[in-house]
Structures are given as structure tokens and as C-alpha cells.
Amino acid sequence: MTFVIAHAGHWLVTIAYFIPVIGFMAWLAVTQLKARRQRERPDSDRRPPA
Amino acid sequence: MTLPIAHGIAQRADLPITLGLFLFGSVVVLVVSFVALAVLWRRPLFEPYPWRPLSGFLGRVLSSRPVEILCGATGVALLVLVIYAGLKGQQTAAANFAPTFVYVIVWVGMVAASILFGDVFRAFNPWRVIGRAVALVARLATRGELPPPLAYPRRLGYWPAATGLVAFTVLELVNSTPDDPSTVAIATLVYSVLTFIGMALYGVDAWTTRGEAFSVYFNLFSRLSIFETREGVLGLRPPLAGLTRIQPGSGLVLVVAAMIGTVSFDGLSETGLWVDIGGALGDLFGSLGLSSETAFEASNAVGLVAMVALVFALYRLGIAGMKILDERRPAGQLADWFAPSLVPIALAYVGAHYLTLLAFQGQAITYLASDPLGEGADLFGTAEVGISYFMGARLIQWLWVALVVGGHVAALALAHDRALVVYRDEQDKVVPSQLWMLAVMILFTISALLLLLSSNA
């Protein structure tokens, strides 16, 4: 079978429109997961060493 | 194997501004709306919302028994006409009443009527009218000793409605001869029989509220309207607010995903991209021994199901994001609670994709009503009326953009209001949780505009 990619440029440009939003979602996931881990950490971990 | 990307999605040549600018402008509107909501909308406005009865002569007339009977009788007569014209009339879509009436006037026109006037379909629903009439006759015949219907199973939820919606769009978008009048008539008959079985088992009202696809579909849209009937009295409420009173239930998310996904597939199927993907799938099914027609239908079915699944997955991705913040509530519950906020998006998709169909092809009903069988009759003297193409391409494109952006802004507002209720005791979660909905809405907006404003390159 043949790979027909003569006009792939159009399609790749179309995909490019979604990249900033997907990047934003990834950033959101990372920052919110970090914040959640911070919340879940036992209080003792946050105390300065004696 | 063929990688079918020879033709992508390219910008239409006749756009007033570039596609990129359209997309950028739309995303800016969404982001600005999100910020405005976060800053200015600090308490829930829709839950609960005010409702006041429509007073005066108009309110009394519209809520009256004779009007109810007249609407019901009209609905039943139109159902009979669709079946009769479809089976007995001329077998060409352009000359037969049934295809235009079902696909344009009911499927698209009733959405517009629901937005403008509330749950109009309920009044005209022929299956509900027949079901209630049969129940009344049966009660009279048995002197009120009819056995009660089965309790509607909680687990069934909105699944029958979701299945019915997908089945209708399979008829419309997958079937290779969707506008064949006899196909429309037979499908109407089959659906009528299934609906009557559902009503006989679970009761007319229970089945109409959750199981009957068209009732659920048009009822969801009617909740955007300012009109609401309570206990037989027509009243007024704020626009959009009705969506907050939907009973959550299993399958509701799928109903909404089907509303958006099926229209998206209709848009995708007109692009060069789908010509190639669908063609490759058709080749694949053909190589498995299917006829070319069946292979074409199978490839469309795969595309349709894939688009519904994609919309469902994107929404659940947003919910999964919200779940990072919310350790207490199950994801399924959050998904059900926020699902109604997607209804304005479904309206935007339906409105934008079928705007011209309703505006232009909808006019055909004036001459088809005069000659429903296509046999040269002129019942109302309108058989010679033509179609007026009163809107230009530019105006249509701007209306598309306005509908898509407006629908998504309305969806953001609804989701924000719902978040204010859900996180009433955890206000710090309102805005972060809605950042996920913002991202999902932007993905939907970009997809919708790409499908609408692209050429068949």
C-alpha cells in the first residue's frame, strides 16, 4: 500500500492550532498535581529540622 | 497500507479574515470571558433561579387544554403524513414531503423552536399523544384497573435516548441513501414501535423524560429558552437557567457527547481529510469482502462513533483534570453535574452546521406541504413557491463564528455557575477547576471553527 502525504502540510498546520492548548493542559496538570502532593504531605515533613 | 493525509483541512478561499485570525479572536473572547466570570460572577445565579407564570390572555391561551389537544393532533397527523408520503409518494427526496420534514423541519427546525419557545416538541410529540390516548382508552375500558407500569430502572438512565440519537444519526450520516423517502418512513415506523414498547413497559412520562431520544434531545435544547411550563402553567425564567434543573443520570454525558460528536462528524465528512480517511477505511472494509456500498457505510459508522468517542474523551479529560483538585467527589458524579454546560456547545454546532440547511432547504416545505406525495397536487396554492437564497456567504461565515463563540461562552458561564454551587464550601477550587473546562472549551471551539471554515481541499 502507498503512503499518500502529498498535502500533509495542511493537516500538520491544523494540528499545530491545538498544540498551545494541549501545552496549557499539561502545565495545568503538572502545577495542580504538585500543589496536591504539597497538600497531602504529612505536616511533620514540612517542619524544619530540629 | 495507505496513510491518508493527501488532503488536509485548508482554509476556504472566501473568508473575510484569515482562519488563524478567526481562531485567535475566538480564543481571546473565551479567555476574556473566563476572567470576567471569575472576577464578576461571585455567587450562583442559576441555582435556584426565578420563575414567574406568564400572566394575561396569551399565557392562558397557550396553557389551555384546547391548544394542547390541537398541538397533539397536529403532531399525530404529521407522523401519519410522513409515513404515508414516504411509502406511497414519489421516491425522490426533492419531491417527497417525508425527508425534508424529518431532516430539516423536525431535526433542525425544532431545535430553533425549542430555543425560542421552550419545550415545543413535548406539545407536538406524536408518540406521547398516542401513548396517553391509548392509556386513557385502556383505563376507561378496564374502569381504572390497569396494572401500573414497571419502575424505570435507575441504571438505564439516559442510555436509551443516547442510543436512539446515535441510531438516528446513523440513518442520516452513515446510510448511503438517507433521504430515500421509503427509508425515512420505515425508520419512523420502527422507531414508533420501539417507543410504544418503552412506554408500555415504563409508562408514557418516564419513557418520554429519559428514554425517548427526540424528547430528551429537544428538551435539553429547550432548557436554554426563557419559557418553562410548570404543572401546566407557562412561565418565564432566565435564559440558560433551565439546564441546571436536569436530573443527572447515567448516560447523560453520552447524550451530550452524541449531540456534539455526530454534528462534528457531519462537518468532518465534508472535508478532504475525511474523503481520504473514509476512502482508506472503505478500501480496508472492501478488502474484507464487503460490497462498496456496505464498505462506505462501515467507514462512515467508524467515523461517527470515533467522533462521539473523541468528544466524550475530551470532556472526561477535563473532568479528570478537575479531579486533581477534588479528592472527595467521584469523577462520574462531576461528569454528570457539569454535562449540561455542554448543551450550548451542542446548540452552537447544530446551529452553525445546519444554519443554511434550515434557512434555504427549510423553505422547500412550503411547496412540499402543498404536494406531499410529489404527484402534482397544490393543496395550499404554494406548489410553485421557490427557494430564496437571502443570505450571502460572508454573513453566513460571521454567523457561524458568532454561534460557535457565543455557545462556548454560554457553556463557560454555566459551568462557572455550577462550580460555584458544587464548591460552595471550597471557594478556592472554583477558578482552578474551571481552568480545565476553559481548556476543553477552547479545544472544542478550535475544532468547530476548523471544520466550519475549512475548504474541501
Q: Do B74 and B223 fall within a single domain?
A: yes
Q: How far out from the chain centre does Cα B326 lie? A: 31
pLDDT, position B15: 58
pLDDT, position B17: 67
A50 CB within 8 Å of a chain B CB: no
In a domain, B324, yes or no: yes
In a domain, B251, yes or no: no
Q: How far out from the chain centre does Cα B45 lie? A: 25
A19 CB within 8 Å of a chain B CB: no
Asked if A33's CB is within 8 angstroms of B3's CB, the reply is no
Asked if A32's CB is within 8 angstroms of B5's CB, the reply is no
Tell me whether residue B400 is exposed, middle or buried, using C-beta atoms within 10 angstroms of its C-beta: 0 to 12, 13 to 18, 19 or more. Answer: buried
Q: Do B324 and B267 fall within a single domain?
A: yes
Residue A2 has pLDDT above 80, yes or no: no
The helix/strand/coil state of B443 is: helix
- Nearest CB among B3, B9, B20 relative to A10 is that of B9
DSSP code for B146? P
**Chain A residues inside the 8 Å CB shell of B273:** 11
Q: What CA–CA distance (Å, rounded) separates B20 from B269?
A: 22
Residues in chain B whose beta carbon is closer than 8 A to a beta carbon of chain A?
A: 1-10, 20, 23, 272-273, 276, 317, 321, 324-325, 327, 432, 435-436, 439, 442-443, 446, 450, 454, 457
Q: Mean pLDDT by 10-residue block, N- to C-terminus, for chain B (457 residues)?
A: 40 64 87 94 90 84 89 97 97 94 96 96 97 92 84 94 96 92 97 97 95 97 95 91 91 95 89 82 91 93 95 95 91 94 93 89 93 93 88 86 90 94 91 94 88 64
The residue of chain B nearest to residue A34, with distances taken between CA atoms, is B324
Q: What are phi and psi of B119, to 5 degrees?
A: -80, 70
Asked if B7's CB is within 8 angstroms of A5's CB, the reply is no
- Give the type of residue at B39: V
The residue of chain B nearest to residue A14, with distances taken between CA atoms, is B9
Q: Do B44 and B124 fall within a single domain?
A: no
Q: Do B191 and B98 fall within a single domain?
A: yes
Count CB atoms within 10 A of the CB of residue B456: 13
**How many CA atoms lie within 13 Å of B252's alpha carbon, on the beta-carbon side?**
23
In a domain, B61, yes or no: yes
- Give the type of residue at B163: T
> How far away is chain A from the Cα of B391, in angstroms, using its nearest Cα?
29
A8 CB within 8 Å of a chain B CB: yes
B309 near B322, Cβ under 8 Å? no
The residue of chain B nearest to residue A40, with distances taken between CA atoms, is B327
- Nearest CB among B7, B439, B443 relative to A28 is that of B439
In a domain, B248, yes or no: no
Q: Do B109 and B213 fall within a single domain?
A: yes
- Nearest CB among A6, A7, A28 relative to B321 is that of A28
pLDDT, position A12: 67
Q: Do B18 and B64 fall within a single domain?
A: no
The helix/strand/coil state of B15 is: coil
Q: What CA–CA distance (Å, rounded) separates A21 from A37?
A: 24
**Chain B residues inside the 8 Å CB shell of A6:** 6
pLDDT, position B126: 98
**Chain A residues inside the 8 Å CB shell of B20:** 17
Supply the range of the domain harboring residue B296. 1-49+261-373+381-457
Count CB atoms within 10 A of the CB of residue B409: 22
Tell me whether residue B154 is exposed, middle or buried, using C-beta atoms within 10 angstroms of its C-beta: 0 to 12, 13 to 18, 19 or more. Answer: exposed
In a domain, B249, yes or no: no
* Helical (H) or strand (E) element with B454: strand B454-455
Q: What ipTM was predicted for this assembly? A: 0.75
B171 near B187, Cβ under 8 Å? yes
Q: Do B147 and B44 fall within a single domain?
A: no
In a domain, B250, yes or no: no
Q: How far out from the chain centre does Cα B124 lie? A: 17
- Nearest CB among B1, B273, B432 relative to A11 is that of B273
B40 near A42, Cβ under 8 Å? no
Q: Do B40 and B64 fall within a single domain?
A: no
- Nearest CB among B3, B439, B454 relative to A3 is that of B3
Q: Which of B188, B221, B237 is the last residue of a domain?
A: B237
B148 near B217, Cβ under 8 Å? no
A36 CB within 8 Å of a chain B CB: yes
The residue of chain A nearest to residue B11, with distances taken between CA atoms, is A10
Q: Do B107 and B218 fall within a single domain?
A: yes
**Chain A residues inside the 8 Å CB shell of B441:** none
Q: Do B13 and B81 fall within a single domain?
A: no
Q: How many structural domains comprise chain B?
A: 2
Q: Do B151 and B211 fall within a single domain?
A: yes
**Chain A residues inside the 8 Å CB shell of B9:** 10-11, 14
- Give the type of residue at B87: L
Q: What CA–CA distance (Å, rounded) separates B326 from B323?
A: 5
- Show me where the domains of chain A are located: 13-38
The helix/strand/coil state of B233 is: strand
> How far away is chain B from the Cα of A37, in angstroms, using its nearest Cα?
10
In a domain, B247, yes or no: no
The helix/strand/coil state of B228 is: strand
**What's the mean pLDDT when you consider all of chain A?**
73
Confidence of residue A9 (pLDDT cuts 50, 70, 90): low
**Chain B residues inside the 8 Å CB shell of A21:** 439, 442-443, 446
In a domain, B151, yes or no: yes
Q: Do B197 and B60 fall within a single domain?
A: yes
> How far away is chain A from the Cα of B438, in angstroms, using its nearest Cα?
10
A17 near B450, Cβ under 8 Å? yes
